[in-house]
């Protein structure tokens, strides 16, 4: 949070040339891992994130079981080679926090009451990090859960909005996150209009908060389309490749 670093140029463009309301380029692929029940890979600017889902399966050890619903366990991990500085491998406070808030966001959409005593295990591996990995991870996890065929009210799409050089901006990059004035990750379910994750680092006025929220929600709607696109590509049936030309019902 320094005043010396300029994050917006005289044309109102950001350090990577984006407009204030512009997302970084995002690519989503579903079903990328053979051994997981569901998986997804997200490239989001310079972030590279993999999500793998196992379950629903019997929760072990047994004391974890909930007789009324499945538990959702998330493990967020930044690979040792994912940042500029070497990240110390293994769990830390930040990874524990991100795992917890991601699980809580997903519990809002997964129909856990259909799977008593079960566990749904979600692994998020950040291969390359450039700010916004919790949003990329939650976005990837939602696609992986859908890929696993686990019923949900709707997928969660996530995106942050923040404040740089006194202006509200969408999807902060690393430099903007480090030297900006605020960062607000948001998880949204376009199907229901529900917000399932909201965090804030820094300060905004109420008017700025409203603007940031509107910007992040509209970005989540765009990201949701990309999530659906990834699933459609994964499950598209190529009728031309079928023996009977796709005529059999």
> Using the rule CB under 6 A, is 131 a contact of ligand ADP?
yes
Identify the residue among 21, 23, 29, 83 touching ligand ADP (CB under 6 A): 83
Q: Which of 125, 147, 165, 177 binds ligand ADP (CB under 6 A)?
A: 177
Written as six digits, the tokens of 220 are 């989540």
The beta-carbon contacts of 34-38 under 8 Å, at least 24 apart in sequence, are 36/144, 36/148, 37/147, 37/148, 37/149, 38/144, 38/145, 38/146, 38/147, 38/148, 38/149, 38/150
The yes or no reply on residue 130 touching ligand ADP (CB under 6 A) is yes
Place of tokens 């376009």: 190
- Give the length of the chain: 249
Q: Nearer to ligand ADP by C-beta: 174 or 224?
A: 174
Does 132 engage in binding with ligand ADP (CB under 6 A)?
yes
Question: Given candidates 14, 18, 48, 174, which one binds ligand ADP under the rule CB under 6 A?
Answer: 174
Beta bridge partners of 28: 42
| Residues 52-81 contacting ligand ADP, CB under 6 A | none
Q: Does 94 bind ligand ADP (CB under 6 A)?
A: yes
Q: Which residue is nearest to ligand ADP (CB)?
A: 83
> Least distance in Å: CB of 244 to ligand ADP?
48
User: Which sign, positive or negative, has the C-alpha torsion 226, 198, 41, 48?
Assistant: positive
Return the residue matching tokens 């990201």: 223
* Interface contacts to ligand ADP, rule CB under 6 A: 83, 85, 87, 94, 129-134, 174, 177
């Amino acid at each position: 949070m320094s005043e010396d670093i300029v994050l917006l140029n005289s044309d109102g463009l950001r350090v990577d040339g984006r407009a204030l309301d512009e997302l970084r380029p995002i690519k989503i692929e579903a079903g990328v891992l053979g051994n997981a029940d569901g998986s997804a890979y997200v490239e989001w600017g310079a972030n590279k994130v993999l999500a793998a889902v196992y379950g629903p399966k019997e929760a072990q050890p047994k004391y974890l079981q909930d007789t009324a619903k499945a538990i959702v366990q998330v493990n967020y991990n930044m690979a040792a080679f994912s940042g500029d500085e070497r990240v110390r491998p293994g769990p830390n406070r930040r990874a524990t926090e991100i795992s917890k808030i991601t699980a809580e966001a997903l519990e809002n959409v997964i129909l856990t009451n259909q799977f008593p005593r079960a566990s749904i295990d979600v692994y998020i591996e950040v291969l390359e990090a450039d700010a916004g990995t919790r949003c990329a991870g939650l976005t990837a996890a939602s696609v992986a859960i859908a890929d696993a065929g686990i019923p949900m009210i709707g997928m969660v799409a996530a995106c942050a909005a923040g404040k740089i050089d006194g202006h509200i901006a969408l999807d902060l990059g690393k430099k903007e996150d480090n030297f900006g004035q605020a960062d607000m990750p948001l998880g949204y379910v376009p199907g229901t209009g529900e917000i399932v994750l909201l965090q804030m680092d820094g300060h905004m006025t109420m008017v700025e908060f409203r603007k940031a929220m509107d910007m992040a929600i509209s970005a989540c709607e765009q990201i949701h389309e990309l999530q659906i696109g990834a699933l459609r590509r994964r499950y598209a049936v190529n009728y031309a490749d079928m023996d009977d030309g796709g005529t059999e019902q």
